[in-house]
Structures are given as C-alpha cells and as structure tokens.
Amino acid sequence: MTFVSGISYNTIEIIDCLVLGRDYQTGRKLYEHLQSLTLTGTPRVRRHCIASEAEFWACLRELEAQCQIGWKPLIHFEAHAGKAGLEVPDSANPKGVTLPWPVLVDPLRRINIASGFNLGVFVAACEGIEAIRPMTIKKPAPYMFLIGPSTEIPAEDVELASKCFYDAIMTGMDLTKATRQLPKTFITFLAERFFTSTYARVLRAQNIGRNRLERVDTLVNMVLPIDSAPPEQLKVVRDAAKVYSRPDRERFEAALAAYLPGGVSYDFDELIEFARAGGKTK
C-alpha cells in the first residue's frame, strides 16, 4: 500500500532559532534561496527570527491565526535539537532552553486543524524525527507529514538536504519523490501511514485469523462457561461473538474521524486486505 501526504500549502514559514554570531545561519541561507525561487510571491516565504521561548510560542500562535484566514503553512524549524527536545534562544542562558518534543504537539495540532489538515513540518535539527514520538491516533493529527534527521548531523548537511527538498517541491515534484532526494539520515513521517499501520495492528490483534478465534472464545467465556453450557445457548452466544469480532467499519470510521477527519486515500476493505497481508508499508 502506498500513502500520500494529502496537503496543499501556500506559505513556507521558517522558524529560525539559531543565534546570529554563534550558529551557522542555515535558516537565513534557506530563506534567501527560497526568495530567489519565488519571484512571483507564490508560495509566500517568511522567516521568523526567534530570540526567546516567548517569541517561539507567539510565532506558533500567529501561524494558527494566519490559518484562520486561509494560509496553509509548511513549517520549517531551524534549530539545535536532540532526543530531549528542540532548543530555543534564552537571553539568560547562553545554551538556550530545551523544549521537550511533547510540548510542541498541541500547538502544531491546532495549526493543522486550523489549516484544514494541511500542515507539513520540516525539522532541520539534529534528531528532529524525535518530534513524532508523542503520537496517538486518539487525537487529531498534529501534522500531515514531518521530515527530520534521525541522528546528529552537521549544519552543512542540513543546509544541503533542505535545499534539495525545497528545490524539488518548488518545481512541482510530489512529496514522495521529493523525500527520495534526501539523505538516508532524514526520515519522513506520514500521518496516513501511521494511522494505517496502527489500525492494521489492531485488526490483526483482534479481528483477523487465529487472534480473532481466540477473542471469540474469550467473549463467549465472559457470558457462558464453554465446557458446561447447553449447546443451543452456546451457539447463540458464539454466533454473536463472531459478529462482534468481525472488522467493524463503523469503529474504523470513528477512529479515522478522530485522527484524520479529511479521510484517507483507501477504503476499509483495502485496509483489511492490507492487515491480512501483514501490514507492510512503503
């Protein structure tokens, strides 16, 4: 099964947390490069130079408000980072402040919702893919895709990878092909793929094959003792358990509405076949 990012964007928002005079200015370089590619002003390109944690959160709130009037952002973070989180400048601390990855989820989720589920994120920072760790399908997706390196990476390599990616999408290349231009250290998270893999695991655990048969027995035992129940009662209960344990379209649609209200690129029957085949994603 092949998955899609499902977004359309009309503005690239560079959130630059690198310190002038201390850090290699990959954010400025990317901004200048993108400006040279968008002489018509489409898509819009903006750079937000962040000097404090307060400015960082204010920037995300401003982007959410922009979505309310029709802007659909691709957010590009330029920063230092690691497994602990994203670093933003702090005048009282030369090393800055580390924002744990989980605290970014809700603000990005609000932006994604405000944009009509059109948010893409590029984390140009060491171990930026760690941003996806606090992920659940029980709440709306915080972004439709997120790209980031899985390891520590030199600034020059970040600069090259970013330029390569944006050059590709600015020429109309789709996301799947554009991400193939990136070094192997960069990982692409797709919300649709995550939902599909997660729900396929649920189906395999409860509704398909041997696991379904075991679940039927468990459900029956909750109502009647299998070894001593009258056969006619046992049949009625077992038939009901078989119906209940089937893959349920309504439960799937409820889970999908919670995470990706805009839907996915496949139907429920395709998901069942995908789960039966082992749930291998591309």
Ordered by start, the domain boundaries in the chain are: 11-194, 198-276
What's the fold here for domain 11-194? Rossmann fold (3.40.50)
Q: DSSP of 114-127, one letter per residue?
A: HTTS--EEEEESTT
CB atoms inside a 10 Å sphere around CB 255: 16
Is residue 223 predicted with pLDDT exceeding 70? yes
pLDDT at 175: 85
CB 147 within 8 A of CB 165: yes
Cα–Cα distance for residue pair 26/44, rounded to 1 Å? 19
- The pTM of the full predicted model, rounded to 2 decimals, is 0.89
pLDDT at 32: 95
Q: Return mean pLDDT, the chain.
A: 91
Q: Which of 255, 74, 280, 72 is nearest to 193 (CA)?
A: 280
Sole residue written with tokens 């690198």: 18
Residues of the chain with pLDDT > 90: what percent? 67
Confidence of residue 280 (pLDDT cuts 50, 70, 90): low
Confidence of residue 98 (pLDDT cuts 50, 70, 90): very high
Higher pLDDT, 143 or 210: 143
pLDDT at 281: 61
Amino acid at 158: V
pLDDT at 4: 65
Which range (14-23, 73-82, 104-113, 236-245) has the least confidence?
236-245
Highest averaged pLDDT of the listed ranges 169-183, 187-201, 219-233: 187-201
Which range (169-183, 196-210, 221-235) has the least confidence?
221-235
Cα–Cα distance for residue pair 122/26, rounded to 1 Å? 13
pLDDT at 6: 63
**Strands 11-16 vs 120-124: parallel, antiparallel or unpaired:** unpaired
Angle at 64 between CA 255 and CA 169, to 5 degrees: 80
Residues of the chain with pLDDT > 70: what percent? 97
HSE-CB for 250 with a 13 A CA cutoff: 2
Cα–Cα distance for residue pair 256/192, rounded to 1 Å? 10
Region 2-26: mean pLDDT is 87
Angle between helices 231-244 and 209-223 (to 10 degrees): 130
Intra-chain end-to-end CA distance of the chain, in Å:
6
Confidence of residue 282 (pLDDT cuts 50, 70, 90): low
Is residue 193 predicted with pLDDT exceeding 70? yes
CA distances from 45 to 7, 80, 100, 127, 218 (A): 17, 22, 27, 25, 57
Angle at 85 between CA 3 and CA 127, to 5 degrees: 55
Cα–Cα distance for residue pair 222/73, rounded to 1 Å? 51
Which range (23-32, 196-205, 224-233) has the least confidence?
224-233
Strand order in the sheet with 81-82: 81-82, 85-90, 93-99
- Give the CA diameter of the chain: 82
pLDDT at 38: 84
Let me know if 242 is exposed, middle or buried by CB neighbors in 10 A (0-12, 13-18, 19+): middle
Helix, strand or coil for residue 74? strand
Structure tokens at 77: 């973070």
Cα–Cα distance for residue pair 63/58, rounded to 1 Å? 9
Cα–Cα distance for residue pair 124/88, rounded to 1 Å? 13
Region 205-231: mean pLDDT is 83
Is residue 132 predicted with pLDDT exceeding 70? yes
Which range (162-171, 196-205, 229-238) has the least confidence?
229-238
CB 89 within 8 A of CB 125: no
